[in-house]
Structure 1
Amino acid sequence: MSQPVFPQPFEAIGCAQCRNLASLDFEITMAFQPIIHVPSGKPFAYEALVRGLKGESAGEILAKVTPDNLYRFDQVCRVKAIEQAAALGLGRTRDCKLSINFLPNAVYRASTCIRATLEATRTFGFPADRLMFEVTEGERIEDTEHLKSIFKEYDRQGFTTAIDDFGSGYSGLNLLAEFQPNVLKLDMALTRGICKDPVRQAIVSGIVLVAQRLGITLVAEGIETEAERQALSDLGIELMQGYLFARPQINALPLLERLHAG
């Protein structure tokens, strides 16, 4: 990962400024999709997924991100996710996390770039220790030391760290050998149709063993059928995400009522 270049001066942006979406020249909102703890049926976390105000996809929004607005976009997404999740009552639940995707190239110095995030947790009353930050393994990681420094700072702050889309990108096990996050999210390329694919079953079984040895929690993504859910449960994976459980919903927390049941 090459070192990012930001417009000068580079400094932490305050929460109020990050809520000023007009500075991006386009507006965003967040959709939320739960990560389910399958044995209990309750959400373990909600992933915040960027959308346009008219329902534009993440791909359409990301196409508008340039080197000039990358840092601002990353900061606005964090603050927006915290603001909406808090307003929807996620901060008042027990233990359920808010998962936020971040762009490593938008983080110059982790201890500085996290200030607006922490200010947002105070402003909107969301517990900072319930934040989980995901970085996609699908992005080419050229500077692993930079990413390691980000994760180290986030761990120091008490955040949960995660590698998203594991198994789909450039680095795979080499990336995992460099640093170990709290959570590893298996890409749907590995989980889709796993119920009838002995090769994928063998690969995922090996990743389960590695994760157990390293003390890493696994999440299986892209689960659409009961057969996929059962196959992954049989392999020892308890956390899953996908359309089988709930689709992303804009400004809503699907299945939130399950957290209050029992």
Structure 2
Amino acid sequence: MFCNNCSTIEPIEDQGTIHIRPVFAELILMFRENGCAVEETPESCAVHYSDREEMLFLMQLMQDLPPFIRQQLNFCVTGGAVPDVQHKWIPLREFEERMKHFDVVNMILEKQFTSFMQPIVDGSEQIVAYEFLLRSSENGVPFQPYELFETARKTGLHSFLDRAARISAIETSALWLPKGVKRFVNFLPSSIYNPEFCLTHTFDTIERLSLEPTDFVFEVVETERMDDVKHLQSIFEVYRRNGISVAMDDVGAGYSTLEQMIRLKPDYVKIDRSLIDHCDVNPAQQKQLLTITDIAHDFGAKVLAEGIERREEFEFCCGIGMELAQGYLFGKPDSRPPRDYERSLICS
């Protein structure tokens, strides 16, 4: 099976070839009238460019094409070779967005990022897991993860970025963590078109590094609305069939509803920090937290409180039966585990 979201995407080089399809006589005439050499095939045409300015000039020319032509055009950029089935063709709108965000797009495609890890503790404050979070590489350009993913969405690269971030997290976990320590990794449901095919990169990476699938927990990120619960259920089923646990993130806020939680029955329920903040003194939050915890326990899930910064919050959450906690009280995201945790691994 072939999935366009999983096809090869290459950084836009300083020189190369723009391939365009379908072929329109108006498009060919416009290029040639402006001194561009055009190579034609029955399916597409190709125009070479020698630098970024020349590419931007070609894009500017296409602004004058009739709307009905612009709406049909698809693009593929290569270093000069004819695109094969593994190269991704994108609509003109996405291609123009890539030109608009040229530097950010190349940062995504060149994978100029790394994974930080934040500790997750049990009721006795022992580190039992880590969540992996996308951050800029050392000496790299700083970015906000949300803004990076938003740019990726506009440019049609959110599947590429989501997959690359998952693989980065898996590879980082192999460097620092022993077997038996859980690794929480985020994923965007909209980036996975066909779970059986699109997740093979993830499972192959775990196998390549000789890691245990049972050590992984993949959590759905609720920054986007997920109306297709059946699709998300199918993703959960594929993860579980491969020995991996699943989690719902930000439960109690945004688009995460109790109804969705009950239908999906994740192995872990992560409660949004907005409900945790000063929960020890807010009766309304306490009632909602108790409801979520009781329902999650009814179908066998473990509950994790996110964003804990005060000991009073931690004590309340433990007191109503939450098994796990995460937040600045226990440690900020870092590129490696705490040194005292590393020493405990050496001594164990």
TM more than 0.5: yes
Alignment partner, residue 44 of structure 1: 128
Q: Give, in angstroms, the shift of residue 237 of structure 1.
A: 1.3
Does the 8 Å CA contact 2:249/2:270 hold for their aligned counterparts?
yes
TM (norm. structure 1) is 0.85
Alignment partner, residue 39 of structure 2: none
Distance 1:198 1:130, change over 3 A: same
Alignment partner, residue 227 of structure 1: 312
Cα deviations across residues 148-191 of structure 1 (Å, max 9, x unaligned)? 10001111111010000101122411211321000000000111
Alignment partner, residue 149 of structure 2: 62
Q: Give, in angstroms, the shift of residue 26 of structure 1.
A: 5.4
User: What CA RMSD, in Å, does the superposition of the two structures yield over aligned residues?
Assistant: 2.4
Alignment partner, residue 103 of structure 2: none
- Alignment partner for residue 323 of structure 2, among 235, 238, 246? 238
Distance 1:232 1:10, change over 3 A: farther
Larger mean CA deviation between 21-30 and 204-213 belongs to 21-30
The letter of the residue matching 2:135 is R
Q: Give, in angstroms, the shift of residue 137 of structure 1.
A: 3.5
* 1:33 correspondence with 2:118: yes
* 1:133 correspondence with 2:218: yes
Distance 1:45 1:52, change over 3 A: same
Distance 1:120 1:203, change over 3 A: same
Cα deviations across residues 219-261 of structure 1 (Å, max 9, x unaligned)? 0000001111111111111200000000001x21236337636
Distance 2:314 2:256 in 1: 26
The structure number with the bigger radius of gyration is 2
Q: Give, in angstroms, the shift of residue 212 of structure 1.
A: 1.6
Alignment partner, residue 215 of structure 1: 300
Distance 1:30 1:186, change over 3 A: same
Does the 8 Å CA contact 1:223/1:240 hold for their aligned counterparts?
yes
Name the SS for the 1:231 alignment partner: helix
Larger mean CA deviation between 234-243 and 65-74 belongs to 65-74
Distance 1:61 1:236, change over 3 A: same
Q: Give, in angstroms, the shift of residue 6 of structure 1.
A: 3.3
Alignment partner, residue 193 of structure 1: 278
Gaps of 5+ in 2: 8-84, 88-105
- Alignment partner for residue 208 of structure 2, among 117, 120, 123? 123
Does the 8 Å CA contact 2:187/2:219 hold for their aligned counterparts?
yes
* 1:77 correspondence with 2:165: yes
Does the 8 Å CA contact 1:100/1:131 hold for their aligned counterparts?
yes
Distance 2:287 2:275 in 1: 10
Distance 2:146 2:255 in 1: 20
The letter of the residue matching 1:61 is L
Does the 8 Å CA contact 2:5/2:160 hold for their aligned counterparts?
no
Q: Give, in angstroms, the shift of residue 61 of structure 1.
A: 2.6
Alignment partner, residue 266 of structure 2: 181
Distance 1:252 1:82, change over 3 A: same
Name the SS for the 1:30 alignment partner: strand
TM (norm. structure 2) is 0.65
Q: Give, in angstroms, the shift of residue 64 of structure 1.
A: 3.0
Distance 2:198 2:342 in 1: 34
Alignment partner, residue 14 of structure 1: none
Does the 8 Å CA contact 2:303/2:322 hold for their aligned counterparts?
yes
The letter of the residue matching 2:199 is I
Larger mean CA deviation between 124-133 and 234-243 belongs to 124-133
The letter of the residue matching 2:109 is L
